Structure 1
Amino acid sequence: MPASASSMNARLPRLAALCLAAVFVVAARAPDLPELIAEYEDFAAEYPMEAGRSDPTSSREGWPAESPKDMAWRRAELERLADALDRLPDRSLEQEDRINRDHLRALIGWRIEGIDFDERRFAFVAHEGFYNTPYSVARRIDLQNEDQARAWLARMRGIPAYFAQQRANLERGVATGWTHPELVADVAVAVLRKQIARAPEQDPMVEALAAFPAVAAQARGLIANEIRPAQRAMLSYIDGPYREAARQELGIAAVPNGRAYYDFLLRYYTTTDLSAEDIHALGLSEVRRIRAEMDAVIASTGFEGDFAEWLHFLRTDPQFYATSREELIEKYAAAAKRIDGVLPRYFSHLPRQPFTIVPVPRELEEGYTTARGGGGGDMEKGFAGTFVVNTSHLDQRPLYEVPALSLHEAAPGHHTHGALNRENRNLPGFRRARDLLAFREGWALYAERLGHEMGVYRNAYEKFGSLSTEMWRACRMVVDTGIHVMGWDYARARKCFEDNTALADVNIDTELARYIGAPAGAVAYKVGELKIVALRQRAEEALGDRFDIRAFHDLVLAQGQLPMTLLETQVDAWIEANRE
């Protein structure tokens, strides 16, 4: 029997309530993993420069927002994403989904910890810092039209405010006892002085506008009237009040809560739970192993003399050094092409993107590391990858280290890894970024070791050069932990390198400034490399004749980047899949 109008009217509020409840149930549905990954990618897009995705021609991007208020907002967003990831039911996830979830959850957790330590109080790290950010962006610009040129000019107008924000962060560090030692401030001062000394028309920010004279004229005026005053004010602050407040101790453990911060940095950079004491002991063990291999190489040359005399020979004999900046670049280019010829025997998948070899800009070379590769490439926009070489102090840039550094920084190291990441659209963006130092640098150091199998090292000197660069990374484990936890002074840290490596004096001092200014990062190289070596050995033992070196390398590089524990999970799964 049909319901009466009055009874139907009585039910309408209940029906409406039920419908509304259903709407809320749908609206409250927990997001799945792809949605959470997309949310994180949207979050990362708010900070494109940090994610390596900046468009220099976009006026919308501005410069990194890193005030306490901005960081609090980031933390809240990260915490929300972390909670949502924690609520995902494990049984609903396939192997690759679990890898993505666990990686993203770890990454978010580390970022939250970094914010909680208010680490933006350290606004610069020796030669790296906010003062270089505009120049790093400017050197990647390829402006196609006047609209893009004006967008770049608009970004330049934001530089003084960006500097002011970074000064506030530094002042907060001074007020709370979070400052660098003087020697780290000295490097920042040297970089700023060189930037300020350049005429506006020769500034890279203006040089990018060469095809647009009217806009370039405005940029020159902007630099002279607004940007240079901001740089001078920053120079005066770092060289004055900041230097006066610099901490006396070299180690980060001396700042309030410094040991806890160092322990966090070790977890983040190595992606392991190894303690400072564990890493120190592992480093000493590696130093002993590598030293024995060095002694064997020296013996093979027939050299008569002790280790110190051998190092003196390498550091002073002219045959081991280029006589011009151009010659040094040519030596790197020749080594890179020699390596290219054997790569297909060890890799099935190589990137489409080439790389170019360029000198470190003159204003940065003092205090800059020996070489650096893997950055700045974008095939879609017509940019090759870049392998930058420090061509200053030629008498301290030994040629016997060129092959090892080429393997590490270019192919099959950083460039190969980075270019394959950019081309691998099967991975979410966060796995193609450059966040995880242990994976990225561990792979590059493994590439140096692979050079022995590949036949890249042609003589005893180049083999020793490879061992010297490996010893350099082993000494990092000892020295970094020694400085920041065990109270080592500068002389003791320096002696570790003097006694065990062929590094020239300028390189040792540059490296020590880096370790002091950027705690814990330097130890990740060896930790990551040793893990990759151990996983390869595990696969070789398990698979025997079935082991395929090219397939193993392709597997590792196909991961983009992962914490070491998750890389182990992937390799173990690959071993099981290839047993039969």
Structure 2
Amino acid sequence: MLLLAGCASQSTAPTPPTFSELASQIWQAETALRTPAAGTLTDMSAPALAARQQQRLALQQQLLAVDLTTLNEQDKINHAILSYRLADEIDKYRFNGHLMPLTSESGFHTSLAFSFQRNNLRQAEDYQQYLQRLAAVPQYMQQQIALMREGLAKGITQPRIVLEGFEQSIESYIATPEQSVFFQPLLRKSDAITEQQWQAFRQQAAELIAQAVNPAYQAFYDFMVQQYLPGARQDIAASNSPDGAAFYQNRIEHYTTLQMTPQQVHDIGLAEVKRIRAEMQQVIDSLGFEGSFADFVRFLREDPRFYPQSADELLRYAAWLSKRADAQLPRFFNLLPRTPYGVTEVPAEIAPKYTTGRYSGAARDDQAGYYWVNTYALNRRPLYEMEALTLHEAVPGHHLQISLAREQADLPDYRRSFYTSAFGEGWGLYAEYLGLEMGFYQDPYSNFGRLTYEMWRAARLVVDTGMHSLGWSRQQAIDFLAENTALSMHNVQTEIDRYISWPAQALSYKLGEITIRRLRQEAEQQLGDRFDVRAFHNVVLGNGSVPLAVLEQQVQQYIKQVQAN
């Protein structure tokens, strides 16, 4: 009977899920961990964070148990991406990233406000849930402040130097209800509700902003000014914080998807800086400029002809460049996204400490993507850099790359929304290089702007590793970036503070671009006349954002397939 019972037990044991089922389960679980229930905000209490970590560790064990030899090509990519995403969330918690929820340019308070602005209110239920979320803001802010207070106690903070003036980004969200960014989704009435309902929702929202949201932001402002800034660490190096060397190595591997030491990255950066500097000198010589490299850079920084006179002029120029780039796409791509994109300015509340430009992708099918252009301090926004910026952020850069991935219905959701910095930013920098083949750069000055952008990304390899691992000071990094690029001094300082507060992320651009250009060169050399740039771009973009090792495998398979045919 025992034997029979054992056999019965074995025969009724649940069948292990297929990888497709496991992947779906993992993604659903991860989505549930990331996405709060309707009408709520994410629970950022310490017990909730610890529970999420345990859930992710359990999911990771399930992935590790999968036999990769049983998977087809696409499922191997799916496995790599799910593993990468889970490892990042687990590692961020392991290294106490939740105790430092801000960088030099933004934080949880800005992302919270942005999430409210992206709400699309249609039905009465949507408005009710929006009001519930407004009411939840104080608890959410208190939980984040509690985490930052724990970070202070453990010496895990952003360096004080990069947070000078940060409190202004908090203060900018404290406004009269009707002027608040939290009120914006209620400015337009949905056809699905009555005028009376709309006015009632608006009144309730105004009361919640005045009585809940504004006091919550004021409490964060007071905490930042009175406790966090005075107690923040003086040292800028990530490797000097608790468990810092391991943390920085982990972030290098995460952002670059490569196995490299800080010294190896640093050395590549120095070699690239030397190469690009020689190309920049060739442009200076072609212009017949008499003077040193520093003299030419000073000329570019100070001559008013290179700078816009108004925000409108800068935005119009960016829009015109975007349409010029659009016209070139069919020569280089046979697969283009359906999603349109617009050009708009960086929100005023974050612009002073924000980077030069950025792409904001569509969150829903009824939205466009946006190419953000920073119109703050126009005397620091040189026009000769706008071609490179436009190619990087709009097309053929991030808009094309991110929208194509999002529109690929045959990929699972977690593939379409996935973004890895090495691939995405590597592609953005490759798009700047592609502008040469497009004939996009109008004159030597704009080509110098391209080179200074490339130098900027190469110099990042030097200064990021220098500051976080090799003992460089902030001023040493500022001097290196200023001496080797034509970036305005405002941009130089803003960028250096960004690298300090976001260790290793800036390494992904150049290392990703180097990889993509190397793979293209290998394909051109091995395929000769059979190389088709549009087919190559299909291979690079066809699987969405992937770790660089996966991209390399895909390109090598493409080369073999063309050779076989």
Structure 1 residues 139-150: aligned runs within 5 Å? 139-150=117-128
Correspondence 1:199 to 2:183: no
Which residue of structure 1 lines up, in the alignment, with residue 283 of structure 2?
Answer: 297
* 1:140 and 1:376 in contact (8 A); partners too: no
Correspondence 1:259 to 2:245: yes
Which residue of structure 2 lines up, in the alignment, with residue 489 of structure 1?
Answer: 473
* 1:32 and 1:88 in contact (8 A); partners too: no
1:431-475 superposed Cα distances (whole Å, 9 cap, x missing partner): 222441101111111101111111110110110000011111111
Aligned CA distance change for structure 1 residues 187 and 514 (closer, same or farther; 3 Å): farther
Cα distance between partner residues in 2 of 1:369 and 1:549: 32
Cα distance between partner residues in 2 of 1:188 and 1:460: 38
Cα distance between partner residues in 2 of 1:234 and 1:168: 11
- From 383, 386, 398, the equivalent of 1:414 is 398
1:138-183 superposed Cα distances (whole Å, 9 cap, x missing partner): 3323322332122111111111111111111101111111011113
Which residue of structure 2 lines up, in the alignment, with residue 113 of structure 1?
Answer: 91
Which residue of structure 2 lines up, in the alignment, with residue 340 of structure 1?
Answer: 326
Equivalent AA in structure 2 for residue 371 of structure 1? G
1:198-225 superposed Cα distances (whole Å, 9 cap, x missing partner): 2221112112112222212111111111
- The more displaced of 199-208 and 98-107 is 98-107
Where do 5+ consecutive residues of structure 2 fail to align? 190-197
TM-score normalised by structure 2 residue count = 0.95
Which residue of structure 2 lines up, in the alignment, with residue 77 of structure 1?
Answer: 55
Cα distance between partner residues in 2 of 1:45 and 1:365: 31
Equivalent AA in structure 2 for residue 305 of structure 1? G
Equivalent AA in structure 2 for residue 433 of structure 1? S
- From 134, 145, 153, the equivalent of 1:175 is 153
Correspondence 1:479 to 2:463: yes
Which residue of structure 1 lines up, in the alignment, with residue 185 of structure 2?
Answer: 208
Cα distance between partner residues in 1 of 2:67 and 2:119: 45
* 1:378 and 1:385 in contact (8 A); partners too: no
* 1:103 and 1:566 in contact (8 A); partners too: no
Percent sequence identity over aligned pairs: 38
| CA displacement at 1:332 relative to structure 2 | 0.1
| CA displacement at 1:14 relative to structure 2 | 7.8
* 1:281 and 1:478 in contact (8 A); partners too: yes
Cα distance between partner residues in 2 of 1:71 and 1:141: 25
- From 421, 429, 433, the equivalent of 1:449 is 433
| CA displacement at 1:21 relative to structure 2 | 4.0
Equivalent AA in structure 1 for residue 31 of structure 2? A
Which residue of structure 2 lines up, in the alignment, with residue 241 of structure 1?
Answer: 227
1:34-73 superposed Cα distances (whole Å, 9 cap, x missing partner): 0121012102221456xxxx9xxxx626323333322322
- Paired residue total: 555
Which residue of structure 1 lines up, in the alignment, with residue 192 of structure 2?
Answer: none
| CA displacement at 1:315 relative to structure 2 | 0.9
SS in 1 for 2:404: helix
Structure 1 residues 333-482: aligned runs within 5 Å? 333-379=319-365, 382-482=366-466
- The more displaced of 101-110 and 524-533 is 101-110
| CA displacement at 1:187 relative to structure 2 | 4.4
Cα distance between partner residues in 2 of 1:560 and 1:311: 38
Which residue of structure 1 lines up, in the alignment, with residue 215 of structure 2?
Answer: 229
Which residue of structure 2 lines up, in the alignment, with residue 502 of structure 1?
Answer: 486
TM-score normalised by structure 1 residue count = 0.92
Aligned CA distance change for structure 1 residues 434 and 84 (closer, same or farther; 3 Å): closer
Cα distance between partner residues in 2 of 1:14 and 1:249: 67
SS in 1 for 2:16: coil
Which residue of structure 2 lines up, in the alignment, with residue 219 of structure 1?
Answer: 205
Which residue of structure 2 lines up, in the alignment, with residue 329 of structure 1?
Answer: 315
Which residue of structure 2 lines up, in the alignment, with residue 157 of structure 1?
Answer: 135
* 1:122 and 1:178 in contact (8 A); partners too: yes
| CA displacement at 1:184 relative to structure 2 | 2.9
Correspondence 1:43 to 2:61: no
* 2:419 and 2:546 in contact (8 A); partners too: no
- From 534, 538, 554, the equivalent of 2:538 is 554
Cα distance between partner residues in 2 of 1:184 and 1:157: 32
Cα distance between partner residues in 1 of 2:160 and 2:100: 13
Equivalent AA in structure 2 for residue 518 of structure 1? W
Larger Rg: 1
- From 497, 501, 510, the equivalent of 1:513 is 497
1:83-120 superposed Cα distances (whole Å, 9 cap, x missing partner): 22222223322222222223322332232222211210
1:478-516 superposed Cα distances (whole Å, 9 cap, x missing partner): 111111111211211111111011111111121112111
Correspondence 1:103 to 2:92: no
Equivalent AA in structure 1 for residue 271 of structure 2? S
* 2:39 and 2:130 in contact (8 A); partners too: no
Cα distance between partner residues in 2 of 1:479 and 1:220: 46
Cα distance between partner residues in 1 of 2:401 and 2:135: 35
* 1:434 and 1:440 in contact (8 A); partners too: no
- From 101, 107, 112, the equivalent of 1:134 is 112
* 2:388 and 2:453 in contact (8 A); partners too: yes
Cα distance between partner residues in 2 of 1:506 and 1:340: 31
Which residue of structure 2 lines up, in the alignment, with residue 533 of structure 1?
Answer: 517
1:381-418 superposed Cα distances (whole Å, 9 cap, x missing partner): x2110111110111110001111000000111111111
* 2:104 and 2:501 in contact (8 A); partners too: yes
Aligned CA distance change for structure 1 residues 187 and 252 (closer, same or farther; 3 Å): farther
* 1:253 and 1:484 in contact (8 A); partners too: yes
Equivalent AA in structure 1 for residue 253 of structure 2? R
* 2:39 and 2:129 in contact (8 A); partners too: no
| CA displacement at 1:365 relative to structure 2 | 0.7
Cα distance between partner residues in 2 of 1:349 and 1:423: 11
- From 16, 19, 22, the equivalent of 2:11 is 22
| CA displacement at 1:430 relative to structure 2 | 2.4
- The more displaced of 138-147 and 396-405 is 138-147
Equivalent AA in structure 1 for residue 263 of structure 2? E
Equivalent AA in structure 1 for residue 312 of structure 2? E
Cα distance between partner residues in 1 of 2:58 and 2:409: 27
Cα distance between partner residues in 2 of 1:184 and 1:43: 36
Equivalent AA in structure 2 for residue 282 of structure 1? I
* 1:37 and 1:428 in contact (8 A); partners too: no
1:500-556 superposed Cα distances (whole Å, 9 cap, x missing partner): 111111111211121111111011111111011111111111111111100111111
Aligned CA distance change for structure 1 residues 351 and 189 (closer, same or farther; 3 Å): same
SS in 2 for 1:578: helix
SS in 1 for 2:164: helix
SS in 2 for 1:479: helix
* 2:161 and 2:234 in contact (8 A); partners too: no
SS in 2 for 1:373: strand
Equivalent AA in structure 2 for residue 442 of structure 1? G
Which residue of structure 2 lines up, in the alignment, with residue 8 of structure 1?
Answer: none
Correspondence 1:87 to 2:68: no
SS in 1 for 2:166: helix
Structure 1 residues 48-59: aligned runs within 5 Å? 48=34
How big is the alpha-carbon RMSD for the aligned residues of Structure 1 and Structure 2? Answer: 1.7
SS in 2 for 1:250: coil
Which aligned segments of 4 or more residues in structure 1 are displaced greater than 3 angstroms?
A: 13-21
Correspondence 1:190 to 2:168: yes
Cα distance between partner residues in 1 of 2:395 and 2:54: 40
